[in-house]
């Protein structure tokens, strides 16, 4: 039996009580957490284990990214000053020339950056599928295996082109039936329902302004038949609200409710413009939210009502969003970003560093339906862990290591473990060569640009 002991670190377990051990130990057996406690490990636990010296480090659960578009790694830095709708219109032509090979190369780079920022589980939302362009979901699954992260790959879709009143150009959308059939095929081929799954599939029509009502309804029925979760964008911008008012004579939350999309197997990205009535319905139905503060700032979408969402016990996770609207692509800095933006919106103390860490870990696990397996450091859970060095010049003397993560510069990542296996060590990927991934992504970006 493979046994690893993490010894001497500051453990922030993110269990229900928020237990922290300033000088603790954590034992991993066969990919799962076997014991967590204060002080040195009892001799019988430590016997025969490989020891990871975590002195000078903060140990947290691995971070969970609940919203991303990994292919966008290839289209960063474009439409730099645009709001969402103008940004989308500028980028659709480029995105609609993508293929599975380019998706895989962009995704591998995006995943590498996520891993190096403490992320162990990634929910990707992929919704651009040019006809005959290969197996995009397969390319994403392969890239996640290469880097070593868990993937919840959304088979997204768009079927409402501009000629039918949608935002995307007609050439960027799929026929409704083709999108549904491909979604079912992705589930059949790649979805793993087991507790320690590395890959799960999600069905994810893109947004109210890019998919038909039929596709939303049918996707919900299909996902429930197949036992997978649902994801989409919701209440991101005022323009989206105006679109829904004009086309459906209701707001985005009413619209989602009308098509069976407020439920505990659904999470939406953003939730920036949710009012008190919307929040109450998210809470009552158990619908989750992926909070993406940097992307919301980049596109000037607004600041999501985090305090109100948490007060209502809406499941909330943290998201990077696609790198075309968050060129950083790093997850850990979103913890600090969430703290700062919640306070700009709702005042001092609107979000504490420990609450933000909880959103980034347990919150994300709950949003993805994996709260029993991921998100906290408790015996029986999967050993997905991030070990942050907090004794360097940026953090030494800062007495609260959780504040080092939530208020200070993101600490260097000493080690990242997924299922007990090391994925990052001393800030560098272990399984893949990040220089090679960088070169692949750079050439893929150029290839895509040349196709436009």
Q: Would you give the binding string for Zn ion spanning residues 190-229, x where CB under 5 A is met?
A: ----------------------------------------
Minimum CB distance to Zn ion smaller for 105 or for 125:
125
Q: Are 161 and 168 in contact (CB under 8 A)?
A: yes
Taking the least distance from each CB to Zn ion, the nearer of 60 and 72 is 72
Q: Which is nearer to Zn ion, 174 or 321 (CB)?
A: 321
- Residue 280, CB half-sphere, CA atoms under 13 Å: how many? 3
Beta carbon of residue 128, minimum distance to Zn ion (angstroms, whole number):
12
* Shortest Å, Cβ 261 to Zn ion: 16
Minimum CB separation of residue 211 from Zn ion in Å reads: 14
- Residues in the chain, overall count: 452
Compute the least distance from the CB of residue 125 to Zn ion, in Å.
6
Using CB under 5 A, count the residues that bind Zn ion: 2
The nearest distance, CB 299 to Zn ion, in angstroms, is 10
Q: Which is nearer to Zn ion, 112 or 269 (CB)?
A: 269
- Residue closer to Zn ion, measured from CB, 321 or 384: 321
**Binding to Zn ion in span 299-358, by CB under 5 A:** 321
Nearest to 427 by CA among 112, 145, 31, 149: 112
Minimum distance from CB of 67 to Zn ion (Å)? 6
Q: Which CB atom, from 255 or from 388, has the smaller least distance to Zn ion? A: 255
Contacts of 227 (CB under 8 A, 6+ apart): 193
Least spacing, CB of residue 74 vs Zn ion, in Å = 16
Q: Is 240 or 440 the residue whose CB approaches Zn ion more closely? A: 240
Over the window 139 to 158, marking each residue x when it contacts Zn ion by CB under 5 A and - when it does not, the resulting string is --------------------
Closest CB to Zn ion among 270 and 381?
Answer: 270
Residue 142 vs residues 56, 108, 199, 268: alpha-carbon distances, Å: 35, 9, 10, 25
Question: Minimum distance between the CB of residue 215 and Zn ion, rounded to whole angstroms?
Answer: 17
**Of residues 232-291, which lie at the interface with Zn ion (CB under 5 A)?**
269
Give the residue among 336, 305, 323 at the shortest CA–CA distance from 409.
Answer: 336
Residue 236's contacts (CB-CB under 8 Å, 6 or more residues apart) are 84, 207, 269, 270, 272, 273, 296, 301
Nearest to 233 by CA among 361, 336, 85, 131: 85
Site string (61-100) toward Zn ion, x via CB under 5 A: ----------------------------------------
Question: How far is Cα 251 from Cα 257, in angstroms, rounded to an integer?
Answer: 10
Which residue number, 154 or 355, has a Cβ lying nearer to Zn ion?
154
Cα Rg of the chain (Å, integer): 21
CA 366-371-374 angle, 5° bins: 115
Question: In terms of CB distance, is 28 or 290 closer to Zn ion?
Answer: 290
Choice between 151 and 386, CB closer to Zn ion: 151
What is the closest distance, in whole angstroms, from the C-beta atom of residue 296 to Zn ion in the complex?
A: 10
Buried b (16+ CB within 10 A) or exposed e, 431-440: bbebeebeeb
Other Cβ atoms closer than 10 A to 297: 17
Q: Which of 372, 365, 337 is nearest to 353 (CA)?
A: 337
Least Å from the CB of residue 110 to Zn ion: 13
1: burial class by Cβ within 10 Å (0-12, 13-18, 19+)?
exposed
Q: Are 297 and 323 in contact (CB under 8 A)?
A: no
Is residue 394 within 8 A of residue 411, CB to CB? The reply is: yes
C-alpha atoms less than 13 angstroms from C-alpha of 428 in its C-beta half-sphere: 6
Report yes or no: 74 and 106 within 8 Å, Cβ to Cβ: yes
Q: Write down the least CB distance from residue 319 to Zn ion, Å.
A: 8
Rounded Cα distance, 114 and 62, in Å: 11
Interface ranges with Zn ion (CB under 5 A): 269, 321
């Amino acid at each position: 039996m493979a046994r690893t002991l993490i010894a001497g670190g500051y453990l922030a377990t993110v269990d229900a009580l928020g237990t922290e051990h300033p000088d603790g130990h954590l034992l991993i057996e066969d990919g799962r957490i076997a014991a967590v406690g204060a002080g040195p490990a009892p001799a019988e636990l430590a016997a025969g284990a490989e020891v990871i010296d975590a002195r000078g480090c903060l140990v947290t659960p691995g971070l969970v990214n609940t919203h991303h578009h990994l292919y966008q790694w290839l289209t960063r830095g474009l439409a730099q000053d645009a709001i969402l709708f103008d940004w989308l219109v500028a980028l659709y032509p480029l995105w609609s020339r993508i293929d599975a090979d380019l998706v895989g190369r962009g995704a591998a780079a995006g995943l590498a950056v996520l891993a190096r920022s403490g992320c162990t589980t990634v929910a990707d939302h992929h919704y651009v599928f040019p006809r005959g362009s290969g197996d995009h979901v397969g390319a994403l699954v392969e890239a996640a295996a290469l880097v070593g992260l868990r993937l919840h790959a959304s088979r997204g879709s768009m079927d409402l082109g501009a000629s039918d009143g949608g935002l995307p150009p007609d050439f960027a959308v799929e026929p409704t039936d083709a999108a549904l059939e491909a979604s079912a095929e992705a589930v059949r081929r790649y979805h793993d329902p087991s507790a320690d799954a590395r890959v799960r599939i999600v069905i994810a029509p893109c947004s109210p302004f890019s998919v038909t009502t039929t596709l939303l309804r049918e996707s919900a029925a299909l996902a429930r038949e197949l036992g997978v979760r649902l994801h989409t964008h919701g209440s991101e911008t005022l323009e989206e609200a105006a679109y829904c008012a004009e086309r459906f004579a209701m707001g985005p939350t009413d619209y989602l409710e009308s098509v069976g999309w407020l439920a505990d197997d659904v999470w939406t990205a953003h939730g920036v413009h949710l009012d008190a009535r919307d929040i109450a319905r998210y809470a009552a139905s158990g619908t989750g939210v992926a909070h993406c503060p940097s992307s919301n700032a980049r596109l000037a979408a607004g600041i999501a009502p985090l305090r109100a969402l948490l007060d209502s016990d809406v499941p909330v996770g943290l998201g990077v969003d696609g790198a075309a609207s968050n060129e950083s692509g790093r997850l850990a800095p979103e913890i600090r970003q969430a703290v700062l933006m919640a306070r700009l919106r709702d005042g001092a103390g609107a979000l504490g560093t420990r609450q933000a860490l909880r959103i980034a870990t347990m919150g994300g696990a709950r949003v993805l339906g994996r709260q029993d397996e991921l998100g906290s450091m408790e015996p029986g859970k999967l050993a997905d862990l991030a070990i942050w060095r907090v004794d360097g010049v940026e953090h030494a003397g800062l007495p609260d290591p959780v504040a080092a993560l939530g208020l200070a510069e993101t600490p260097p990542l000493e080690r990242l473990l997924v299922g007990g296996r090391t994925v990052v060590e001393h800030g560098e990927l272990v399984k893949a060569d990040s220089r090679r991934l960088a070169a692949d992504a750079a050439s893929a970006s150029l290839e895509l640009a040349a196709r436009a």
